[in-house]
Structure 1
């Protein structure tokens, strides 16, 4: 490609992908362990059950927790390996074809959409906030924003030089977009579940 953005190694994105992948994988691993423990000893609460609001058990036992016929954390155990591998490859200097970036973005977009749906189900249907689930939400959201912006700035999406330049500058706004997204989730949880006082009581209690 002829653009400077496409010739420059996206080190910041690469490092973030590795960090997000490791954090997301660890959260999925912890939820998988909790699921195995629940299967081994039915009726026992998960170690991440802190209150009626902040807990893992209700989420793991719900149909939403096994949408595809198996526990959702298994998706995380497999899916979060992709950002780790891609991030490490980018750090090492690898370059990927356009079709690869589009496939990678499709996976990240699916994860983002799935997380948005799970957030809505958790807040409006289950009435719980799963700690490890929230860790997954926290890294999925900025990863989607960052990869999407990178597709434009690197020229993977056919666009004018002006659009690519704008996308390059927009990467600096990903943290702000992430914070706004977090704020929206917190606001919904507060309105629906009165989450802030309940979580504070859980912490100090």
Structure 2
């Protein structure tokens, strides 16, 4: 778990940081072409031009720069065998649930409202979904959510396959994107 949290946290942090640097480039030069501006359907710069990229009045990517530090720190603590209190792991689950709500809103907005995918954002989506599934599953299996959750056969079965659940979840998102952006994907065939 510790290594997983560190690895995914670093990937999420680097992606959020790259988005932050790109946002600063756009603020300095609104005509800048970013490295992640791949084509009309996959472009970080295009997505950043919409108000949804600043839901709370500041760039969304700053949330990731701050939030991904938490799993990295907890991952380091877990690797060094520090006994993490239940409430901290429950707090991580709640924080990741908040991340999932935000990511889901941003996915919907990106795919259906804006009609453009942001490559760095998609990496953050993947990392957040994987972290959520793995952390919640581990908390169920370890009894962090309490005895009732740990004793539930259904929850134990679901918790035994967090990466499969994350994979199916991501496949649904990818299928939705291919369907919505068929003009682009159809041209590749």
TM-superposed deviation, 1:55: 0.4
Equivalent in the alignment of 2:64: 76
- State the Cα RMSD in Å: 2.0
Residue in 2 that maps onto 1:142: 130
Match of 1:113 in 2: 101
Distance 1:80 1:94, change over 3 A: same
CA distance in 2, matches of 1:143, 1:33: 24
8 Å contact kept, 1:54–1:199: no
Q: Residues of 2 paired with 1:127 and 1:94: CA distance?
A: 45
Partners of 2:137 and 2:91 lie apart in 1 by 15
Equivalence for 1:20: 8
Which residue does the alignment assign to 1:163?
152
Alignment of 1:22-101 (within 5 A): 22-101=10-89
User: 1:180 and 1:14 mapped to 2: Cα distance?
Assistant: 24
- For the pair shown, the structure with the greater C-alpha radius of gyration is 1
Q: How many residues align?
A: 188
After TM superposition, the runs of 4+ consecutive aligned structure 1 residues lying more than 6 A away are none
| Unmatched runs of 5 consecutive residues or more in structure 2 | none
**Normalization by structure 2: what TM-score?**
0.91
Retained in 2: the 8 A contact 1:152–1:164? Answer: no
**Does the 8 Å CA contact 2:140/2:159 hold for their aligned counterparts?**
no
Between the aligned partners of 1:132 and 1:198, the Cα distance in structure 2 is 23
Distance 1:106 1:175 in 2: 19
